[in-house]
Structure formats: structure tokens, C-alpha cells
A and B are shown apart, each in its own frame.
Chain A
Amino acid sequence: MIRYALGRVLQMIPVLFLVSIIVFFVIRIKGDPVLMLVPDWYTQEQIDGVRKAYGFDKPVYVQYLQFVSRAVRGDFGRSFRNRQPAWDLVKAALPRTAQLAFVALLLGVVVSVPLGIVSAVKRNSPLDLLVTTISVGGRALPSFWLGIMLMLLFGVVLRWLPVSGTGAVKGESDLKYLILPAIALATGLVTTLTRLIRSSMLEVLGAEYITMARAKGLSELTLLSRHALRNALIPVVTVLGLNIAWLLGGAVIIEQVFAWPGMGRLMVQAIYARDNAIVQAGLVVSAVIIMIANLSVDLLYPLLDPRIRHD
């Protein structure tokens, strides 16, 4: 088990290396990165000054090493728009995204687990058909459009909820502002999870050990909760972990739609403004989060499914 864990951690290293290369080169794909950092009215002298100050005059591999050594210490340079360290800005925005993602995850699980289970247990019933239809339809929904439709329904037509921003402006709690974006983000999750739980439950319910437990006289409820559920939920944990990447990506757009001040919105604004320091910091942070999530899933899986325990 320890060897397996170590193995997975070691595998992360080349991936981290490749990620750092991609992030490093992303801003150097086209043109002179210095020209993109400075305002239009700078003289050649000033531009050269910036070039030296940021170390852009050195050869590429030296720049790369500098980038990595600084990145490891959390130094991604400063945002040229407000002169603050990129890392600080990302650090401040991250909890906001985490809030959104957490609530979305919670909503997603709370809605899809019962739906998936009931759908499987009462297979082919009207409820099952409804749930399946919604899951299929949900796959085709653009998340940002769903967000806007939710805004339309709850913000404009019904006027129940605010349409954008956070509670900070009026000093209210964030909950009202969090609900719509969280629902928009959760919907994609619900469609995937519900279908997964349903098929997983169906598979488990058809298994031999369930038939045997029934023959032993176990009550349907005990059957469901103690035997079927635990096994059916195993692939769900995996999928949840692997969907963190998707969740972060989705949050980027939803945050932009609802003006939620999280990391996603920060990055989009930074991309508009060519604020490369923030873009790089954000990319690295997202990649690290996803890698940690994947690692956790890999380590958690053998614990949940004794059949694949590694020595």
C-alpha cells in the first residue's frame, strides 16, 4: 500500500514538470512577452528596463529556471494592473471559488444520490423516465446559458434572488448570491452523477450476493443501505474526484456570468488584460489542485474497494 502510494506521488513529478513547461511557454507563444506587459506609450529605453527587471533578456532556459524557482516559493510576479503580487490575488480569490465549488458539489450530491437510487430501484417507472430524460437533456445544456436562464427566472421574472455579485456590497450574507451560480454549476454534475449512480446501483442490485442476501431474508431497506449502497457509491467517489477538473473549468464561466469574485473570474479578467503573472499563477494553482484531487482518488480507491488492494 505504501509502495503504491509512493509510486503515485512519484508519477506526479514528471507531470508537474510538464505542467510548468506548458505554463511557462503559454505566454511566450506569440510575440515578445515584454511588449504585452507594458503600456503602449513606453519608450524603447523603458521597455528594455522592464525586460531587464523581469529577466526577459536572459536565455530561455535560464528564464525557465528562474520561473520555477520563484514559482515554488509562490512568487509569480506582480499584476501590472494594480502592482499586487499575483500570488496574493489568486490566494484571495481561491476561497471564493472553493465556496462556490463546495456548495455546488453538495447540491449535486444531495440531489443526484436519491434520484439515482430511486431511479434504479423503480426502474422504468415514470420517475425513472423523467430522471433519465433530464440527465440526457442536461448534457446538452451550455452552463453559462443555464446560468442566464436561472437569472431570468429567479432574478428578473420572480425577483426572488439577486442576479450578480456578492453580499459584500450591502453587507449581507453571501448565501443569496451564491445560490444561482451554485445551481448552475451543480447541474452538469447532477446529470453525470445521477446516471452513474443509477447504472451502478442497477449493476449491484443484480449481483449474486444481493440475491443471496434476499434469500436469507434480509429486509429490503437493510439490503439497500448496507450492501447495495456502499458498493454502488464506489465509482461515484472516483468520478467526483476526477470531475474536480471539470468543476474548476465550469466555475470559470459561471463566475464570469454571475460576477462572482473567484479565481475563475480573476483569470478571465487577467486574460482579457494580458496580465500574464495572474494567468500563470492561476494555471499552476488549478493544475496542482487537480493533481491533488486525482491523487486522493487514487489513494482512496483501494480503501473503498477491497478487491483491488495493493500490497
Chain B
Amino acid sequence: MTTTTGSEMGLGADAVLNTKRRATPTMILFKRWRRSPVGIVGSVIVLIVVLTAVLAPFIAPYPPAEHHRKERFRPPSWMDGGMPNYKLGTDQLGRDILSRIIYGSRVSVFVGVAAATIGGLLGAILGLFAGYYGGLTDSFISRLVDTFLSIPFIVLVLAIVGVLGPSLTTIIVVLGVTGWASYARVVRGETLSVRAREFVMAARVVGCKKGSIMFRHVLPNAFASIIAMATLDVAATILAESSLSYLGLGVQPPTVTWGSMIADGREYLSSAWWLAVFPGLAIMFTVLGVIFLGDWLRDVLDPRLKEN
């Protein structure tokens, strides 16, 4: 049986029959997501971690700070001496490691996202200004960027947190504010390249105000780079937060953090290795997921928005 196309049926039937539903950006995104193993793995992992963080009180078998004095240093349940209710073993105070890992995800997720958002906003705005206004503003901001990139990130963060005293807000603000420089650099570059394009010149000729040009034309184009950078920044922030916690300058007990669990574990390395191993695996798992997601976002958003 031969198929008849709409156009062969005559009378403009093809206008009705052959047009597919217009592919919306969301559909395109979803199709590309389906085809990318990296994207799928990344988003699944991130989803798992975020859900764990949000639902922690409901899925953790024990409260994270609950001591079980008679069951200290229990190995993971599949080993000799392990107990089935403490799946990953217990620590030096008899606290369930699995529950602590579940609760620890809250700090990592929250700090990671919050700090990356602050850094991203700050850096994007400064980068936008530098790229668009040029001249003295640009020179000043660029020197500022160079300065911040000259001081090792961790050292600066340590110094400031050391002075201000560690607390959740301090850490988020410090990690966010010290991380703005890379965003600014990228956004500045994007702004410069967009600025030279025709539609911006057209907009200016027509008489649009500088501010509106910046926000309505330049920003959407830089958006792709910002999102991609932000995701990878979340990964870096999670690692930085765990380093801070390891050094004791992170969020303080009784709040559980993966980094401080590892610090505890170091002391008992020769007798109870599970204290240090599992939190580290949790960090790796989370960061890997975020990196995969970020890499996929970068690949997807970049050429697509440029076509617009």
C-alpha cells in the first residue's frame, strides 16, 4: 500500500496533516536528555541526593546524634560483629553511620547550592558591568578578578572563616563571595562578544536604554554559560565545604557534616575504617553526579542558545 502525502491529496490538506506539533524547547531538552547517558546518570544522582537531604528525617533509621553506648564501633552489617540495624556500622559514640550520612547530605546540598547562587549572582552582575561598560569599570573589575584568583581559594576562605568564626551563614557567604571571580570572567567574555553583535547595535540605534539592553539581550545569552558554570561550582563548593568541615572550620557539631565525620574517622583509622570511608564515598557520589549534570548542561545549553 502506498502512502499518500497530504500534498498529494490536494487542496492544502498538507497544512493540516503533515505539520507535527511544534517542538517546544522543553521537548527538545527532554529528547537530548534521554539520549545522553551522562545527563541521565547525573540527574538521577542529583535527584537521589536532593531527595535524601529533604526527606532525611523520614528515611534515616536513627537520629544522627543519638548515642548507643553499648554498641560503639560496630562494623558494617555484612561484616563480623556487625548488626543488621546499623547498616554501615557505628562510630565512637555509638551513632549510626548511615543515618549520619543521610543527615550530612543536608549541609552539603544546602551550602553547595546557596554559595554557588551567591557567587554566581555576584560574579554575573560584575562581569556584565565590566563587559558592557568597558573602560575604567572594566579595568577595575578585571583587576579585582585577578586579585581574587591570585589568592588560593581555600586559604582565603580559611582565613576569613577563622576570623569570623565558623557558622552556617558565614560559610555560605564566604564560599559564595570568594568564588565570584570565575563567573565574572566568563560573563564578561560573553558580554563582550554579544555586545558586538548586530541585534545589540540595532537595539541601541532604535534607542533602547543601556540597562535594558544589558538585561534583556545580553543576559539571556550569557545565561547558558552561567548555568553550566554554576553547576560545576556547586560541585567545587561541596568539596570545599567538606574540606572546611574536615579542618573543623565548617558547620559545627551537633550538625552532622561529611567532612567532620571523616575527621573523626581519621583518628580511628586502624581500628574502625568504616568511619572514614563511607562519608568520603558519599561525597564522591554526590560530586560525581553534579559534575555529570553540569557537563551535560554545558553541552546542551551552549550551542542551542547560540542558535537563538
- For the complex, is A286 an interface residue (Cβ under 8 Å from B)? yes
Identify B163's interface contact among A30, A142, A152, A250, CB under 8 A.
A30
User: Known: A29-B160, A144-B246, A145-B283. Contact between A283 and B151, CB under 8 A?
Assistant: yes
User: How big is the B interface, by class?
Assistant: 35 or more
CA gap between A141 and B286 in the complex, in Å:
10
CB neighbors of B among A136-186 (8 A): 136-137, 139-145, 148-149, 151-152, 156
Contact in complex: B277, A287 (CB < 8 Å) = no
Q: How many A-B residue pairs have CB under 8 A?
A: 137
Q: Are the C-beta atoms of B146 and A15 separated by less than 8 Å?
A: yes
Indicate if the CB atoms of A283 and B284 lie closer than 8 Å. no
A203 shortest CB reach to chain B, Å = 18
Is B243 among interface residues, defined by CB-CB distance under 8 A? yes
Known: A26-B159, A139-B291, A156-B269. A149 touches B277 (CB 8 A): yes
- List, in ascending order, chain A residues with CB within 8 A of B277's CB: 149, 152
Q: Are A141 and B284 in contact (CB under 8 A)?
A: yes
Residues from chain A with a CB closer than 8 A to the CB of B165 are 30
Q: How far is the CA of A222 from the CA of B190 in the complex (A)?
A: 40
Q: Which residues of B contact A279 (CB under 8 A)?
A: 159, 162
Which chain B positions have C-beta within 8 A of A248? 152, 155
A113 contacts chain B at the CB level, 8 A cutoff: no
Are the C-beta atoms of B284 and A290 separated by less than 8 Å?
no
Interface of A is mostly: helix
Please state if A22 and B147 are interface contacts (CB–CB under 8 Å): yes
Instruction: Write the nearest CB–CB distance from B206 to chain A, whole angstroms.
Output: 38
In the complex, what distance in Å separates the CA atom of A142 from the CA atom of B258? 11
CB pair B288–A140 under 8 Å, yes or no, is: yes
Q: Are A151 and B269 in contact (CB under 8 A)?
A: yes
Contact string, B192-219, partner A, CB cutoff 8 A, digits 1/0? 0000000000000000000000000000
- Asked if residues A249 and B155 are in contact (CB atoms below 8 Å), the reply is yes
Interface string of B230-265 (1 = CB under 8 A from A): 000001000100110011110000000001001001
Contact of B242 among A142, A152, A264 (CB under 8 A): A142
- Cβ contact of A142, chosen from B158, B162, B265, B284, cutoff 8 A: B284
Q: Which of A34-79 contact B (CB under 8 A)?
A: none
Q: Is A268's CB within 8 Å of the partner chain B?
A: yes
User: Within the assembled complex, what's the spacing in Å between the Cα atoms of A152 and B151?
Assistant: 32
Given A253-B243, A268-B247, the answer on whether A148 and B276 have CB atoms closer than 8 Å is yes
Across the two chains, which residue of chain B brings its CB closest to A20?
B147
Contact of B149 with A by CB under 8 A: yes
Nearest residue, chain B, Cβ from A247: B152
Closest 10 CB pairs of A and B: A271-B162, A249-B152, A145-B280, A140-B287, A249-B154, A18-B147, A140-B288, A248-B152, A14-B143, A156-B270
- Can you add 14 more A-B contacts, CB < 8 Å, to A18-B143, A29-B164, A268-B247? A18-B147, A27-B163, A29-B163, A140-B284, A142-B283, A143-B243, A145-B242, A148-B266, A148-B276, A149-B280, A152-B273, A249-B153, A271-B249, A283-B156
